[in-house]
Structure 1
Amino acid sequence: MEVIIRPTERDCAVVAADIVERYVRCGATLGLATGSTPVGTYAELIARHRDQGLSFAQCRAFLLDEYVGLPREHEQSYYRTIRREFTAHVDLDDAAVASPDGTAPHPGEAAAAYDAAIAAAGGVDIQILGVGTDGHIAFNEPGSSLASRTRMKTLHPDTVRDNSRFFGGDSAAVPRHVLTQGIGTIREARHLVLLAFGESKASAVRALVEGPVAAVCPASALQLHPQATVIVDEAAAGLLEHTEYYRFAYDNKPDWQR
């Protein structure tokens, strides 16, 4: 695992966009996350498309998750969110952006079909991730199997409460179930890039980077991945023990590895 510590959230977004750009230029399959964490990275990629001609035309994308029972037309569906925040602003064909079918009559079948679609596309080349304050990734809450596949999950009450801000502060409006890529599915991506910002994420960052690999911190599964990059700002890195080494390793990285 490579840990990159930058001064600010903006600096982190630039580093993440640099990594993603290399894959975009190869026509890669992108794994996209929603939520507030990757928005800065998406904004940076949109600017590079607009100002530098970075083209996404040869790429395709898969989303991490979707609410069960929420129509795609709903403003807070992840189908709509990723288009509003990112893909509608670049030359990525709308039909090339796939997400789990949260309205399917049989969620288990829809989940299996989604895993099959990812496999048929040759897998995800680079997966963008955020992490919850409790260490969850996608909607894999603490206790999730580290070998889990895409499936339906019940949201933790804390997650419902956190997500209520997207629903006008009304927790009752937040769906209680989601279809989410499992940790096993996520780990099959060739490169994982996890972003975390702010003091509230410091405990989760310490657990996923320096703690034991355990289902109680689903993001700790990144320790088992052959190419995982964790990009955090100073505040999110505040509880890490080995920051001096992480900084040294990044600052002295050979050019061919950047």
Structure 2
Amino acid sequence: MEIIIFDTQKELDAYAADLLVNTAGEKPDAVLGLATGSTPIGIYDKIVERYNEKKISFAGVTTFNLDEYVGLRQENEQSYAYYMQKHLFSHIDILAENTHLPNGMAEDIEAECARYDEMLEARPVDIQLLGLGHNGHIGFNEPDVNLSGGTHAVQLKAETREANARFFASMNEVPSYAITMGVGSILKANTILMAVRGADKAGIVKEALTGPITTNVPASLLQTHARVIVLLDREAGRMIE
């Protein structure tokens, strides 16, 4: 595991963006695993900058997102499909048919999860971008006695819904369920890139990276992966420096 601590968020964003852009540059048909939330926004901004500087084309790239809320249509401003269009897809030359997110409006959620896993098996992810939840979740894999290996529907913990409530008009609007890649699916990526920022994440960063491997801290399972790159700002990394 490689851990890099940055003095500024801009430096972290640029480094992460360059890793993703370089992957696509070296392999024009690369498969990128993408994430949502507040942390990746600066990374996506930097990717768009690189694209506008004509340093990269995404015409042959395929993407898979980690997760999507159940019950939100793609046009809903809080859906992750909308987020990805807003922050990345609409600004680069990626083909719409090559961008994939779980369908949170599927009539048969179990069948949708199986469909997503089939696509992931057919096109393994070259580099998977992750954030880190306050309770150690990656994707929407919440702490539990048992974790699902493949894509599955999950009931979100109260603390996860509360953390995401800032994006919604009220707590009542925050979905209670999501579809997420499983930890097993995430660990199949050739490279895992986890970006974390903020003093409020320092404790869980230490648990995830240096504590025991346990399903109670899903991110701790990343310790079993052969190639993990962790990017932290100074505040998030203050307990492991």
Which TM-score band applies after superposition, normalised by the shorter structure?
Answer: over 0.9
Tell me what 1:11 maps to: 11
Tell me what 2:136 maps to: 135
Cα RMSD after superposing both structures: 1.1
Q: Secondary structure at the match of 2:39?
A: coil
Tell me what 1:205 maps to: 205
Instruction: String of CA shifts for 1:180-225, please: whole Å, max 9, x gaps.
Output: 0010110001100000001011011101111111111101111000
Deviation at 1:53, TM superposition (A): 3.2
| Partner Cα separation in structure 2 for residue 151 and residue 71 of structure 1 | 18
Within the candidate set 74, 77, 81, 1:75 is matched to: 77
Tell me what 1:152 maps to: 153
| Partner Cα separation in structure 1 for residue 24 and residue 204 of structure 2 | 29
Tell me what 2:120 maps to: 118
Deviation at 1:112, TM superposition (A): 1.0
Structure 1 residues 1-258: aligned runs within 5 Å: 1-25=1-25, 26-27=27-28, 28-121=30-123, 123-143=124-144, 145-146=146-147, 148-168=149-169, 170-240=170-240, 243=241
Alpha carbons 2:67, 2:181 under 8 Å: kept: yes
Q: Quick one: percent identity of the two aligned structures?
A: 38
Residue identity in the other structure for 2:132: V
Residue identity in the other structure for 2:213: V
Instruction: String of CA shifts for 1:88-145, please: whole Å, max 9, x gaps.
Output: 1111111110111111111111101101011122x11110000011111110111164
| Partner Cα separation in structure 2 for residue 188 and residue 29 of structure 1 | 12
Alpha carbons 1:205, 1:237 under 8 Å: kept: yes
Q: Secondary structure at the match of 2:205?
A: helix
The runs of at least 4 consecutive aligned structure 1 residues that moved more than 4 Å come to none
| Partner Cα separation in structure 1 for residue 166 and residue 148 of structure 2 | 31
| Partner Cα separation in structure 1 for residue 175 and residue 130 of structure 2 | 21
Residue identity in the other structure for 2:209: V
TM-score (norm 1): 0.90
| Partner Cα separation in structure 2 for residue 109 and residue 52 of structure 1 | 40
TM-score (norm 2): 0.96
Alpha carbons 1:167, 1:173 under 8 Å: kept: yes
Gaps of 5+ in 2: none
Alpha carbons 1:129, 1:138 under 8 Å: kept: yes
Alpha carbons 2:39, 2:195 under 8 Å: kept: yes
Alpha carbons 1:143, 1:215 under 8 Å: kept: yes
Gaps of 5+ in 1: 244-258
Which shows bigger deviation, 20-29 or 173-182? 20-29
